[in-house]
Structure 1
Amino acid sequence: MSTLQPRPPYSDDELRRLYPANLELRQVQILLRHGERTPVSARFKNAGLAAHWPYCEAAKNFKDVVLSVNGSWDTLQWKRRLETSAANDAPTLAAGSRGEVDAVCQPGELTDPGRRTTLALGQRIRRLYVDQLGFLPKGLDAENEAQVYLRSTPIQRALESVQQAFIGLYPAANQAAGLGPKAIVTRSMQDETLFPNEGACKRFAQLSAAFAERTASLYNDGPEMAYINKKIGKWMPKESPVIKVDSHPRLSGIMDSINATRAHGPATNLPSEFYDPKVLEHVDRICTEEWFVGYQESEEYRKLGIGGLVGDLTQRMVESATSSKPSGAVGVQDDFKLSMAGCHDTTIAAVLTSLGAFNVARDKWPNFTSNIAFELFKRTDAGASQPASASSNGAMWPSKDKTWWYSIFSSPKASVAATSARTPIAGMSTPDRAKLDDHYVRIRYNDTPVTLPYCRSTGKHLDGDESFCTLAAFKEAADGFTPKDWKAECGMNLAEPAIRPVVQRPPGL
């Protein structure tokens, strides 16, 4: 199913293993894919699929802030109806398959099932971090409200999903009376790095197009595509009768319709051939390679596609561990304990693949409401056997007295930058590196712990559990594909080949 089937809550035994007594949980950052949505385009009407889906009850209950005639702010409650054109371009109301006109969804809109699954995700987050671990307070008030930080891409379904997850985490009954509105941070589209942003990054658009073209050359005439065409090719439009990676609709667009229909009711089902197990397997496999194999093979792809976001995640962990905050940056320096960021399938798979934790030949496209939790811990039994650390100047970093790498960061200008959590670990001073000691990062993907290849080496993980990566090792891996200036690098190498002859694997692979 394209809908995530969550596992049961952790048992007491699982909690003891996952959250050892000698590790104190300090910070959690959660990336969550939006919930179920409608397809981004109306496709396969000739196969009986309704163009308009009546799964958006929120359309009956919109509220907006308006300026009233006396100059004060007021609230306008309204409901939305969509209009389309019928024969001879005559305007007509868009309606669902049973004539519904007041709950009709926009293309790509979060649906009622999507609201329920993201609400349920928030409830699961509450069960773990409030009820079971006591990491977060049971209720929010003016004193502790800043412990939760919300972020979203500017795409509405992601924003609404993080809103639903927040309400699951802190329902109205668990928010103090009079508590002001919760801030949700967004960026303009040209600044957004919470998903791979082809529109704002010209070089990444080149890279993405090149890997998609390569995937098309590999699969368009292959046996997998032949099987897909045999089963569902008859429903392709006359102007593009053969399904290809780069047909119209593209194979990824066909997957979009398949996955959206699988997540909703029988009124919006496609013919059974679309759900043939081999069709589903081949479509998922090819589309996953088209969209994500670049992260497995190209450092530039990782850097421009998702490196900015991984740099943000790492920076927040380093700031928490070192109690350092950026000066002059309004809002970002808050000491949150948990953050939730509403994002997309391309975010989830890009982050995991870039860290070596997702294999496009094996792993499936992320389901709706898939999520990654980045958990930061501090070891409380100081003095116990420890892995090689920053302060020991062991195998993890080169000696500052013997390497050219250190000399780059030893200038007077760089000595100021050394106080920044964004500074590559190879350029940090010994005292700054030492502050990372006794801190560990653990990733959970859909509630399952993930072991990063880079952290398997001796000295880069907690003794006895490779899923707990030292913060120093995690940062070292992230530094390898965190851009120094994302916008500037998006405009570089435009005349260079997009696909290099040498494969550049993610850190540790």
Structure 2
Amino acid sequence: MASLVPRTPYTDDELRKLYPAGLELQLVQILMRHGERTPVSARFQNAGLPAFWPYCSSVRHFQSAILNGSADRPVDTLEWRRRLETFGDNDAPVLARGPNHEVDGVCDMGSLTDLGRQSTYALGLRLRQLYIDRLRFLPPSLTSTNTLYLRATPVPRALESLQQAFSALYPPSARVAAPDGRFPAPAIVTRTPADETLYPNDGNCRRFAALSRAFAQRAADRWNDTPDMAYLAGLYGRWMPAGTAVAVDSRPRLSGIMDTVNSTLAHGPDTRLPREFYDARAREIMERIGVEEWFAGYKESREYRMLGIGGLLGDVVGRMVGSVEEGTPRGDERVRLGLSGCHDTTLAGVLMSLGAYDTDAWPPFTSHIAIEMFRAARALPPPTEKTGWWGSLFGSGASAGTGIRRKPTTELTPGEKGALDGYYVRMRYNDEPVTIPACRIPGNHLEGDESFCTLAAFKTVVDKFTPTNWREQCRMNRGQPVVPAEPEWAGH
């Protein structure tokens, strides 16, 4: 599937079942894939597909901050237009042009398009409708952004998608100005590529790169000489480079063909491939093989889970446990919503690592996972004056790294385990609840609904593949087998 078709809003009966009266929603963390984009590289120009697409008109004009040295007004803005340049004949520089010779609004490779901006804005509207209008979990207006945790990967389309969703969740009319007349700018957290765990970071984790190559090669060995691949070759073979057969590990790779097919299918007629590229059976085959190539490692290998997505899920659990440890802070400044702009590999990696990816379909553009923490209705604990909610997210001063956020469940004292009692975690993927295998065990879920995992059980599953020193573990086990002799199944 290329673009997500959102389900209809929950009915009142569905909402009552999804959010039982006996549970209080405490914290929501949303991982969202970016919206529709251009292909990450130009492919199939021999089939008439333009290399450059004219779908970025919404960002043809930019503003940049300029330091001018003036004492009265040291910061100014420069408005400018972006145009792309490429190689022409004999490597002469020429302006990149769209299919109708457009030079403005032309997208770079892998850019969020106007459609992608619209779909991620629409996601923000759906989040507002659910968490503000219907559940009244979030306030309708913001006077401070300290109640939000916003994060994005270093990839521009992820950051821009996050900005779109936030702007719909809290439009300008819902941002209340401070006494000085200005609304405080929200903080968006980013990391350097070397530290990034919001996507599977094979570029900065050598061991994970070796693991991913091994599982990709296994997929190639399994699928290249099969009737399904022959079917794809019959459709796409004529468009491949001379001497190149359609294969998992061809150039372009099968996943690259799928990327171009999905990107073109999401956009207009000026950037379409020949009809055979959109054959329904062929697209199903490509997605099924692509899911195995890219994501089977999470399902079968603990080390794959640990290095690929364990750091992120460790952070997700740490924020939930940290909020339990900190209790209810004084005032209204507790963080209620985390929103992270990320990628298809993030979402599938998370779900597969938890044993909850029960599909062969690739995550569509603008897919999202909502990880919701609840507490059983009871008297609230007394206010705390510890590090506060931002401290519970990141750690603060001498308290950083203390507590039970990253402490394995097996090492918790009875009192520490007891602190997690009465808390539940539920995940929804594109608004549909998913269930983790370990949470089906009696005692590990809310009575009557296996999708509500106890926080202790959820933490126990994640603890098993949370890295203790991701950088060091990325350099370990060189030369060791990469595919386990026996599958180490996820979700247990």
Question: What TM-score do you get using the length of structure 1 for normalisation?
Answer: 0.89
1:72-471 alignment, distance < 5 Å: 72-142=74-144, 145-177=145-177, 178-238=182-242, 240-323=243-326, 335-359=334-358, 362-380=359-377, 419-471=403-455
* 1:323-347 per-position Cα deviation (integer Å, ceiling 9, x unaligned): 179xxxxxxxx84100100000000
- Native 8 Å contact 2:404 2:416 kept in 1: no
Displacement of 1:140 in angstroms is 0.8
Deviation at 1:91, TM superposition (A): 1.7
**Any conservation in 1 of the 2:287–2:360 contact (CA below 8 Å)?**
no
The CA deviation string for residues 188-240 of structure 1, in whole angstroms up to 9 with x for no partner, is 000000000001111000000001111111111111111001011100112x4
C-alpha distance after superposition, 1:461-495 (max 9, x if no partner):
00111110000000001101111111111111011
Q: Which residue of 2 aligns with 1:65?
A: 65
Q: Partners in 2 of 1:426 and 1:110 — Cα distance? A: 44
* Contact 1:30–1:374 under 8 Å retained in 2: yes
Q: Distance in 2 between matches of 1:478 and 1:180?
A: 35
Q: Deviations over 1:72-130 (max 9, x none)?
A: 11111111001112112222111111111110000000000000000000000000000
Residue pair 2:142, 2:176 contacting (<8 A) in 1 also: yes
Paired with 1:490 and 1:344, the residues of 2 have a C-alpha distance of: 21
Structure 2: distance between partners of 1:126 and 1:486 = 35
Q: CA deviation at 1:381?
A: 5.1
SS of the counterpart of 1:96?
A: coil
1:148 shift after superposition = 1.3
Counterpart residue number, 2:396:
none
Give the whole-Å Cα distance in 2 for the aligned partners of 1:248 and 1:437. Answer: 52
- Distance in 1, matches of 2:33 and 2:338, equals 14
Structure 1 gap segments, 5+ residues each: 326-333, 383-415
Deviation at 1:255, TM superposition (A): 0.8
- Does structure 1 conserve the Cα–Cα contact (< 8 Å) formed by 2:142 and 2:174? yes
Instruction: Kindly report which structure 2 residues correspond to 1:49-64, keeping only aligned pairs within 5 A, or say none.
Output: 49-64=49-64
CA drift at 1:420: 3.1
Q: Which residue identity lines up with residue 35 of structure 1 in the other structure?
A: G
CA contact (8 A) 1:28 1:376 kept: yes
Paired residue secondary structure (1:422): coil
1:476 aligns with 2:460: yes
Mapped partners of 1:12, 1:324: distance in 2: 31
AA in 1 matched with 2:298? Y
Shift of residue 149, structure 1, vs aligned partner: 1.2
Identity in percent: 55
Structure-1 separation of matches of 2:81 and 2:106: 11
> Which residue is 2:45 aligned to?
45
Aligned to 2:397: none
Q: Distance in 2 between matches of 1:84 and 1:312?
A: 41
1:65 match: secondary structure:
strand
- Shift of residue 496, structure 1, vs aligned partner: 0.3
Q: Hey, what's the Cα distance between the residues in 1 that align with 2:164 and 2:265?
A: 22
* Superposition deviation, residue 417 in structure 1: 7.0
Decide whether aligned partners of structure 1 residues 483 and 125 sit closer, same or farther in structure 2, where only a CA change above 3 A counts.
same
Deviation per residue, 1:384-436 (Å, 9 max, x gap): xxxxxxxxxxxxxxxxxxxxxxxxxxxxxxxx977231101111121111110
Q: CA deviation at 1:58?
A: 3.1
User: Secondary structure of 2:146's match?
Assistant: helix
Bigger shift: residues 74-83 or 161-170:
74-83
What residue ranges of structure 2 are gaps of 5+ in the alignment? 380-399
Find the aligned partners of 1:102 and 1:69 in 2 and give their Cα distance: 32
| Residue identity in the other structure for 2:321 | V
Given that residues 59 and 104 in structure 1 are in contact (C-alpha distance below 8 angstroms), is that contact kept between their aligned partners in structure 2? no
TM-score, with length taken from structure 2 = 0.92
Q: What's the C-alpha RMSD, in Å, of the aligned pairs?
A: 1.6
Amino acid at match of 1:109: S
- What is the alpha-carbon distance in structure 2 between the residues aligned to residue 87 and residue 421 of structure 1? 59
Other structure's SS at 2:7 match: coil
Q: How far apart are residue 287 of structure 1 and its match? A: 1.0
Cα distance in 2 for residues equivalent to 1:162 and 1:276 = 32
Question: How far apart, in 2, do the equivalents of 1:500 and 1:421 lie?
Answer: 29
1-structure distance, mates of 2:176, 2:462: 39
Shift of 1:19: 0.6
> Matched residues in 2 for 1:284 and 1:233: separation?
18
Counterpart of 1:130 in 2: which secondary structure?
helix
Look up the equivalent residue of 1:93 and give its one-letter code.
L
Counterpart-to-counterpart distance in 2, 1:261 and 1:286: 20
Amino acid at match of 1:162: L
Instruction: Give the structure 1 partner of residue 26 of structure 2.
Output: 26
The answer to whether structure 1 residue 489 and structure 2 residue 473 are counterparts is yes
1:501 matched to 2:485? The reply is yes
Distance 1:59 1:125 in 2: 24
Report if aligned partners of 2:39, 2:110 keep a CA contact under 8 Å in 1.
yes
